[in-house]
Structure 1
């Protein structure tokens, strides 16, 4: 740990950016483990100790990590931790798709009288256009806490930016050629991707990967699929075969994976996958579904 800037990130995409831009000048630690929803996770006391010793805490914001305010209040008074919100500067999409069922009306205003405008879609990183802005935010934060290594951060950022820009151009070129524009997803995480590349996202509500869909869900999906000539429904990971088979027979539709990249699975880590390879796989599946 000595001599390096210690950076704590809340979930994988920020860990990826901090590692790429920080290079050998940074020791990055990620809090939310793979396979755990960043929205559902909550920190333990050892996470607080870890953050207290770090110089920089990077979180997504836009309502993704509801626990950050309380977490940061728990830091020791001596902590010099700089905290920064990485979705800053992205034009946010209104309406958090995953909070609809929670009674949060009473929590609009806190004691200081300013409202927490959290009614936004937090899944900013799922679009290459947004993650380019986030990469710049990460770089600026590293330079702020460790100005001595500014040149190194700038170089690493330039290299990463070039890769992200190539990814963005590939998405732009390929998705502008597709005849169809409707994607049907199980997890409503692709709003920024859809907005930035001219697609329309329809989420199959009430369909969690392990739940059996209700008859009315299936009817609704079958109707939408038929009206819009949809051939594939996107799931996060490989969905239970019973659900896939039911959908295939009821709606005459196949399933494909579309990964919101909230974390890497152990298999993906072993394979050496990262944000860019997973986004490239997403693009191939989008092209397949939309041709």
Structure 2
């Protein structure tokens, strides 16, 4: 082989080696070096125009402000205010309970890239918040319940009250404006629009529930206390301090349900409905699902209001089950 040909062959070999080295580096960065692809994280789903995201913001995924939240309804609030400027990491996936959930390793890694975490004081937060904060010391932690007077049992379900969500929205706006000052005007416009929507939703629910004001409705898990308080209702839970009732307590519930002519017991998909089903069989009631963690938050509250109104006799010629003195 000629000297010229040998030189050309050496150049080709060097080029191929360089390409292999670069490719190996890219593969390792994507997780190939450990033999596995990067683990997925649970993100708030987007469905185009139906996602509720407000207009205006940053174009391109890399430029978005990364915000972590505990539950799906919070993702809705953040997206209404943040619009296209934010991307949201949801810690508790659909179907899981925020009372018992434990974050995955991939979620904890993803938190290292978040710029803000919005708290709502569900049980898993109380157990995991020190580790969540330690995962990213530069992450702004926003307590969305600050300024809200919680019930005596420290019920965390404040997101089910449109009136209390107004307070949460203000905290979210302030947090976003702090970490992304360039987007302040966008966040301000979006928050104002969101607050108007909350007022309209509150008025709509008040109208739906007005005929049954003063009524009592039975639930498995006490998630709807703030909602009930807002609209002049009383929630009667089967669980006692988060625990299933004893035989004596269950017998008392049966008598109370019969006295109130309860025909519907509400359960939620994150919890075992067995106790509610047993009680329903004893009093001849139906078991109906209300989801306190549904992604489409405003539609879910409207549906809940209609279901409660129907259960209390607002349709079909029945009478509301009024609170007993």
Q: Shift of the alpha carbon at 1:73?
A: 4.5
* Structure 2: tracts of 5 or more residues without a match: 1-60, 314-325
Cα RMSD, aligned residues only: 2.8
Looking at structure 2, the residues matched to 49 and 58 of structure 1 have their Cα atoms a distance apart, in angstroms, of 17
SS at match of 2:171: helix
Q: Does the 8 A contact of 1:180 with 1:290 survive in 2?
A: no
Contact 1:185/1:201 (<8 A) preserved: yes
Equivalences for residues 224-243 of structure 1 within 5 A? 224-237=256-269
* 8 Å Cα contact 1:42-1:67 kept in structure 2: no
1:252 to 273, 284, 290: 284
Return closer, same or farther for 1:54/1:232 CA change in 2, 3 Å cut-off. same
Structure 1 counterpart of 2:164, from 127, 130, 134: 130
Q: How does 1:185-196 map to 2 (within 5 A)?
A: 185-196=219-230
* CA spacing shift, 1:224–1:57, aligned 2, 3 Å: same
> For residues 189 and 301 of structure 2, what CA distance do their matches in structure 1 show?
23
Higher share in helix = 2
Per the alignment, residue 107 of structure 1 pairs with none
- 8 A Cα contact 2:67 2:116, kept in partner: yes
Which position in structure 2 is the counterpart of 1:166? 200
Distance 2:150 2:273 in 1: 35
Tell me if the contact between 2:98 and 2:122 (Cα under 8 Å) persists in the aligned partners: no
Query: For residue 85 of structure 1, what is the aligned residue in structure 2?
Result: 143
Q: Which residue of structure 2 aligns with residue 28 of structure 1?
A: 88
Cα offset for 1:255? 2.4
Would the aligned equivalents of 1:238 and 1:257 in 2 still touch at CA under 8 Å?
no
Other-structure match for 2:255: 223
Flag the structure with more relative contact order, 1 or 2, with Cα contacts below 8 A and sequence separation at least 6.
1
Q: Does 1:148 align with 2:206?
A: no
- Cα gap change, 1:152/1:235 in structure 2, threshold over 3 Å: closer, same or farther? same
Point out the structure with max Rg over C-alpha: 2
Q: TM-score, normalised by structure 1?
A: 0.77
Task: Say whether 1:284 aligns with 2:306.
Answer: yes
Deviation at 1:71, TM superposition (A): 1.6
Q: Find the aligned partners of 1:160 and 1:71 in 2 and give their Cα distance.
A: 32
Quote the residue 1:47 is aligned against: 107
Alignment TM-score, normalising by the size of structure 2: 0.69
Q: How many residues are paired up?
A: 252
CA change 1:232–1:238 in 2 (3 A) is farther
Residues 155-164 or 9-18, more deviating: 155-164
Query: Closer, same or farther in 2 for the Cα pair 1:238/1:19, shift >3 Å?
Result: closer
Whether 2:297 is the aligned partner of 1:275: answer yes
Confirm or deny: 8 A CA contact 1:184 1:202 kept in the other structure. yes
